[in-house]
């Protein structure tokens, strides 16, 4: 649930919220018991989200959130 809450913020219009959410996801992944499993989940989720959205504005926010 915590990961999904931060992942939902990755398409937020504010770059500050996107960067903060990305930083929190990295910290959660780094300090978890199984960091590779969480990293795999996050990468899969991000890839699915990027390939799924067709809305131009939201796609740009997602790309900036995940790669920025």
Enumerate the domain spans of the chain. 2-67
What percent of the chain has a predicted confidence (pLDDT) above 90? Answer: 47
Residue 65's pLDDT is: 72
Q: Which residues contact 18 (CB under 8 A, 6 or more apart)?
A: 9, 10, 11, 12, 61, 64, 65, 68
- Provide the whole-model pTM: 0.75
Kindly report which listed range (8-22, 31-45, 49-63) carries the lowest average pLDDT score: 49-63
Taking CA atoms, 61 is separated from 18, 40, 42, 49, in Å, by: 9, 22, 17, 11
């Amino acid at each position: 649930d915590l990961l999904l809450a931060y992942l939902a913020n990755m398409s937020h219009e504010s770059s500050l919220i996107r960067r903060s959410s990305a930083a929190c996801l990295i910290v959660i992944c780094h300090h978890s018991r199984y960091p590779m499993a969480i990293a795999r989940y996050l990468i899969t989720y991000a890839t699915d989200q990027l390939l799924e959205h067709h809305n131009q504005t939201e796609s740009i926010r997602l790309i900036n959130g995940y790669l920025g």
